[in-house]
Amino acid sequence: MNTYLFYTDEGYTVAPNNNKLDSLQILGIEDGKTKDEALIKLFSNNEWINKENFSKSRISFFVIIKSDS
């Protein structure tokens, strides 16, 4: 099973001086045999992602722990 970090380029962050900055937003980390399995878990465990209208098509990922099996 691999561990995936999911992120999006939607949204922004606010700097300490209150300026809005374009940035990547980390949506979560989930385990799965495949990216798709982990993505299903991400949405299941984080209902706020849909509620906040993040676009599924703009979600990207990195494998942060790769299984040896």
pLDDT tens digits, one per residue of 7-51: 999 999 999 999 999 999 999 999 999 999 999 999 999 999 999
Which single residue is written with the structure tokens 């099973």?
A: 1
pLDDT at 68: 80
The length of the chain is 69
Contacts of 13 (CB under 8 A, 6+ apart): 20, 21, 23, 25
pLDDT tens digits, one per residue of 57-68: 999 999 999 988
